Structure 1
Amino acid sequence: MKKTALVTGAASGLGYKLALLLAKDGYSLILVDIDATNLKKVQSELHREYKCSVDIIIKDLSKPNVALEIVKEIDVVSVDVLINNAGFGLFGTFSDTDWQRESDMLHLHILTTTHLTKLVLDGMLKQNSGKILNVSSLAAFQPGPLMSIYYASKAYMLYFSEAIANELKGTGVTVTALCPGPTKTDFQNVVSGNTTNNKISFNMGCSFKVAQYGYNAMKKGKTVAIPGRFNKFLAVLPRFLTRNRATSIVRSIQDKNREG
């Protein structure tokens, strides 16, 4: 029987690239996104190119209890691979940014990701196999002034993934946190209402290469995957600096990106 993979945020960017890799490997796909137009295009493309089963679920993943709605919708389907990829950023000082947008981000990055993982994990444990890939970020390794909620929520995703990966040793289920640096996707265009803000061009990664790196790490059962040598260096750098110094450096970078 074909294995089934569930991917959130699959209408574009890393989610789309990861769905493509899964289709090439012969998985049946369940793709979730709020973008109905692009998701239907992805469904048609993957079905046409790879003759695989592609079911789509149009959901706003930032809303309460959406994880339960998704699991009820797929019903008896056993999920062999779960990729929690959906996410977005918000740029600006915490005192000025929109609370509703921040609340949506926290629901998406933290509550939906955690709840969906918990619900799908039950079935994986019963079948003694499964792979979970949570797309975190290089931002998870230090505080991020001007994107405080985004950095903090990605840190949660990293630590959550590492903790349950340890708990699941010996069960046949693995958890991987993918922590890419800036990557060429639509993410930069939705970071803020004013899309001229914080369009990072430095150290920009190729979305397909990042997806391939994370996918390979997931298949190997690696716990933390950081694409690129320079990104690996940046991930460990805060260990050798005071916390104030590390935070100040991030602030300086964010200010320069805003000015640029």
Structure 2
Amino acid sequence: MTTTPRTALITGASSGIGKALAAEFARDGYDLVLAARSVPAMQALAEELQQRHQVSVTVIAADLATEDGAAQLHAAVKARHLTISALVNNAGYGRFGEFKDSALEPELAMMRLNMNTVVALTKYFLPDLIATRGRLLNVASTAAFQPGPYMAVYYASKAFVLSFTEAIAAELAPQGVSVTALCPGPTASGFQDAAAMQASALVRGKKLPSAEAVAAQGYRALQRGQRVYIPGALNWVMAQSVRLTPRNMVTALVRHLSRPATA
């Protein structure tokens, strides 16, 4: 008896958590579609996973921070006659610094990637997920649980991802689609370098969990149908404590924890 192969589309798959999630899906027998801007890095990963796990891996160049990036990716997947049974919205980035000092366009591009693209790809591939009773993993952050001075737009974008994910999880449960928001804290994934966060007291001098550890925990949470998963006991406690703490106090605490380490 032949079975239809399971295929997972993973955005931001060239490095960090996205790359580690690709390995988790491949280990479990999923064929993969990897999407990001860095084609050489994805091709190297594709060769490794194909050889190690005997799965099919398709690499698609995609700039998902553009207005039509999500539509182009969807068209490229469908041109290859692929049906997606797991979608991982992982692509995203942050920017460290005071809002008054930042340029507008990079902030808007961040919003397009972190929010608009998540909604667009979910909308485009939802018919596939419903047809296959598939799985959707949106990578949010512990930043989703409170406002974030020095990364105001990033924190707000991840709050959107968390709210959106929980809402559609409730909507899609009757269709058999499992939806999970993965909310890691600071992770050794290259994110800090891209966000110019090296000077932040939140990460400077800290030993951070690896992208591989976060991905493994997130993948298990997805497979067991958990709607929100926060890796790490301390991260979980901090996220829950926000609910009982006055908002002004929360913001002041985050400002203190995230401040430039030299301030």
TM-score by length of 2: 0.94
Structure 1: 5+ residue runs without aligned partners? none
Q: Which amino acid aligns with 2:94?
A: G
Which digits, 9 at most, give the CA deviation of each residue in 1:201-244, with x for residues without a partner?
Answer: 44622221110111011011110000111011010111121100
Query: After superposition, what is the alpha-carbon deviation per residue over 1:39-81, rounded to whole angstroms, capped at 9, x for unaligned?
Result: 1111111112222111011111100121111111111311000
CA distance in 2, matches of 1:196, 1:158: 26
Q: 1:224 aligns with which of 224, 228, 249?
A: 228
Once the two structures are aligned, what percentage of the paired residues are identical? 39
2:176 pairs with 1:172: yes
Kept after mapping to 1: 8 A contact 2:21/2:215: yes
Distance in 2 (CA, whole Å) between partners of 1:45 and 1:196 is 31
Unpaired stretches in structure 2, ≥5 consecutive residues: none
Partner of 2:86: 81
Rounded to whole Å, the distance in 2 between the matches of 1:244 and 1:183 is: 26
Which residue, out of 242, 251, 256, partners 1:238?
242
Q: Would the aligned equivalents of 2:12 and 2:92 in 1 still touch at CA under 8 Å?
A: yes
Q: CA RMSD in A?
A: 1.4
Name the counterpart of 2:215. Answer: 211
1:90 maps to which of 92, 95, 103: 95
2:122 corresponds to: 117
Pairing 1:3–2:27 present:
no
Asked if structure 1 preserves the Cα contact closer than 8 Å seen for 2:134 and 2:178, the reply is yes
The aligned length equals: 256
1:98-130 Cα shifts (integer Å, max 9, x gaps)? 212111110001111110011111222234x01
For residue 258 of structure 1, give the secondary structure of its aligned residue in structure 2.
Answer: coil
Q: Please name the residue that 2:75 is paired with.
A: 72
Aligned runs of 1:1-260 on 2, under 5 Å?
1-75=4-78, 76-127=81-132, 129-192=133-196, 196-198=198-200, 200=203, 201-202=205-206, 204-255=208-259, 257-259=260-262
Report the residue type matching 1:28 in the other structure.
D
